[in-house]
Chain A
Amino acid sequence: MSRFEPATVNLEFDKRVSDALQDQELRANFRGAMDFLVGKRAAMFPDKEDLEALRAQGEAIRNRCLSQLPELLEQFEQRCTENGIQVHWAETAQEANAIILEIMHKHDATRMVKGKSMASEEIGLNHFLADHGVECLETDMGEYIVQLADETPSHIIMPAIHKNKQQIARLFNQKIEGVEYSEDVDRLIGIGRDVLRQKFFEADVGLSGVNFAVAETGTLCLVENEGNGRMTTTIPPVHIALCGIEKVVESLQDIPPLLRLLTRSATGQAITTYFNMISSPRKPDEKDGPREVHVVLLDNGRSRIYADKQLQETLRCIRCGACMNHCPVYTRIGGHAYGTTYPGPIGQVVSPQIWGLHTAGAITKACSLNGACGEACPVKIPLADLIRRLRYESNNSEPTPVPGPRGQGSLRKRPEAITWKLWALLSRKPGLYKLVLFLATRLRALAPKHIGPWTRYRSAPRPAARSLHELAAQRSQSNASSQEHGRHE
């Protein structure tokens, strides 16, 4: 397994979940935050019909763009090049990291400031650059907090959502020189602002993600509230944008509905403070802005996801995080329990496809298939269906006509497979079914008292004294005899 893949997701998943469930502070932090975000989103969509029309529009735009993805990517590349933006293509995480490092080397750069980019988390950029002597500083306030604590984001929109202000106050007090303990949020933000301003001032290169890439105009769109995205893409002399290949849209006209859906679904805002649309590096008569802009188009498994008609729906995602906010499992275990860059329902779909079921397939277990995520999704990704499909693929050992997720059948367990085979057999043979049912009810005293994790918090189920069939038969017999008896009177 390469160092750019999370090695321990499947191995440590159960333990992570168990630890998260026992952490009362963490659970309280998530409960409060999720209720807050769910309420904010609901307030933004008071009319259900309007919401449904907008979701249908969002879904249609994304489907249309995905159906033309190769042409749109080529058009985007051409427009960018015409505008003076340099375009690079990366098939893998390793390749993306190498491209970014090469740009850094070309400029003798050792200090990078980063705007928010989940794709950079996905490719493990911070660690890679640190190994090559480059300081890579997160500048989104939540990401900065998480980086300071030597952790990873636990939510794709609000990375430090798992921490309360007391924990952040302690962290700043311990990790930033000369900072006194303060729980005042304005004060804490002010401290972060001061530290990061100096870093923006000094940085050689700024790296950002991309929310939408417009093919028609060669424009990079960035959605944010803080201004760190603008700082990152404006102040350093070089800007590198890391962009998943699925982020391309056809034209500028596609942007308003998607932006509307994104901000309202993510944080319950009609619009964010800044919507930044970058179409070129600094022009000769301009006073500021980077002199070089690079875009790294990242595949890292996306073209494989594209191959399967059903799984391709994953690529509609606009990374709003609404699915995790509405997920009862995520609300209780938090983002870190998943152990992957992308947590929650969309993470359960994306992560096993990027890193393979053999690496990250186990997280699909953390789903009750209640469907709340799919109902909240602004571009109507049928998340529960996709999670179910990936569970199936985890156990499926049959070859598939298109590539499909890596690691098919890797979570297949012999006893489980045999159990289901027996169940299928019993369901097809009524005589055998009756016999097994008879034995199960008569020998119920022999039923095991402990059956693995199920009985850790619950008592074991015990067969009834009589099967439903027998009880129903008994009842109809006694009804018949009482009617018979009545007639004789």
Chain B
Amino acid sequence: MSSREAILNRLRTYRQPKPSQPAQAPAAASATLSIAEKVRLFTENLHAAHAEVITATQEDWTQRLLSFWRETGVHSVIYAPNTAHGQAIESAAHAYPELQLQAYEEDIETCKDRLFNHIQCGFGAAMAGIAETGTLMVKTGADEPRALSLVPPTHSLLIHAKDLYTDLPEALHQTRIETALPTNLLLISGPSKTADIQQTLAYGAHGPKRLVVVLIVAEESDHV
């Protein structure tokens, strides 16, 4: 008998009757917050997790992000070229000639050295945000390579206020992500960190040391 059969047989033989208690206590329905409240909570929680937030509009976000990179000495950025946000930053980057924008076009086997040793920042977008924990939901794939948000020491991430949800159950439910899970769905809540040495918090353990979130608010009411 194969190990598979042996294990499953044992489990079937000794299975206990189903619990008589209700399968699951009903989850308390979370109060749905207004966009302004979600923006406030989301920003607050990201700050608490040591991330930086740039609040911008649809019109000025590229300029604000480019200024941030210039001020913080970021000169090499990798991005996904087949995305609206990628193309927007590509067009705007003419105003920042020192910036080397590199499209993530090759397989990692080819660009691994550059990714690990030369690029300072990865730029991508989040499909959703979770206000309660300051979390960014990133759907990786052809347009959002996984290493973009992992290997370079700074990670810049774009998100729209309209894509903010109150908590994880709401985000999972509203985005209907379970029907189309990507290769790798990521929840990111701040820069990489560890407290493994004497419970002292240190940032940049293995992933990005800095997480910069560009939050696009569409209307006046979206602002804090």
Contact = CB atoms under 8 A, between A and B. Distances in A.
A189 interface: yes
A54 B198 CA distance: 30
Most buried by B among A189, A252, A280, A308: A189
A140 B196 contact: yes
Interface in B61-98: none
Contact of B204 (A60, A90, A139, A189): A189
Contacts of A217: 178, 181
B206 A197 contact: yes
Contacts of A279: 181-185
Nearest to B172: A252
A307 B205 CA distance: 42
A304 B14 CA distance: 9
Nearest to B82: A285
A165 B204 contact: no
Interface in A151-201: 158-160, 163-165, 168, 185-186, 188-190, 192-193, 196-197, 200-201
A95 interface: yes
A217 B28 CA distance: 25
Given A201-B116, A279-B185, A287-B142, A227 B202 contact: no
Interface string A55-91: 0110011011011111001100000000000000111
Contacts, number: 250
Given A270-B133, A286-B141, A33 B199 contact: yes
B141 A283 contact: yes
Interface residues of A, number: 99
B78 to A, nearest CB: 10
Interface string B1-35: 01110111011111111110111110110000000
Contacts of B109: 237
Contacts of A68: 18
Interface string A260-277: 100000010011111111
B155 to A, nearest CB: 10
Most A-side CB within 10 Å, residue of B133, B190, B205: B205
Given A57-B24, A245-B7, A306-B14, A36 B183 contact: no
Given A53-B25, A60-B23, A287-B104, A231 B183 contact: no
A288 B15 CA distance: 41
The prevalent SS among residues of A at the interface is helix
B7 A141 contact: no
Given A57-B25, A89-B2, A287-B108, A69 B183 contact: no
Residue among A139, A256, A273 with the highest chain B CB neighbour number at 10 A: A273
Interface string B130-170: 00110100001110011100110000000000000001110
A320 to B, nearest CB: 15
Contacts of A158: 195-196, 199
Contacts of A287: 104-108, 142, 145, 147
B181 A139 contact: no
A91 B197 CA distance: 36
Contacts of B202: 185-186, 188-189
B193 A225 contact: yes
A147 to B, nearest CB: 13
A190 B88 CA distance: 34
Given A69-B11, A225-B192, A282-B183, A312 B142 contact: no
B43 interface: no
A271 B133 contact: yes
B186 A276 contact: yes
A36 B196 CA distance: 13
Given A273-B188, A276-B184, A53 B178 contact: no
A257 interface: yes
B132 A227 contact: no
Contact of A267 (B28, B112, B181, B195): B195
Contact of A278 (B49, B106, B184): B184
A69 B18 CA distance: 11
Contacts of B167: 256
A91 B7 contact: yes
A228 B3 contact: no
Interface of B: 2-4, 6-8, 10-19, 21-25, 27-28, 45, 49, 104-109, 112, 116, 132-133, 135, 140-142, 145-147, 150-151, 167-169, 172, 177-178, 181-200, 202, 204-208
10 contacts: A57-B24, A60-B22, A64-B19, A158-B199, A163-B197, A225-B192, A255-B168, A271-B133, A279-B185, A287-B104
Q: 6 tightest A-B contacts by CB?
A: A227-B207, A307-B14, A142-B196, A275-B187, A226-B205, A288-B108
Given A89-B4, A283-B142, 15 more contacts: A64-B23, A73-B7, A73-B8, A230-B146, A235-B108, A235-B112, A274-B189, A281-B183, A283-B183, A285-B141, A286-B140, A287-B145, A289-B146, A306-B14, A309-B16
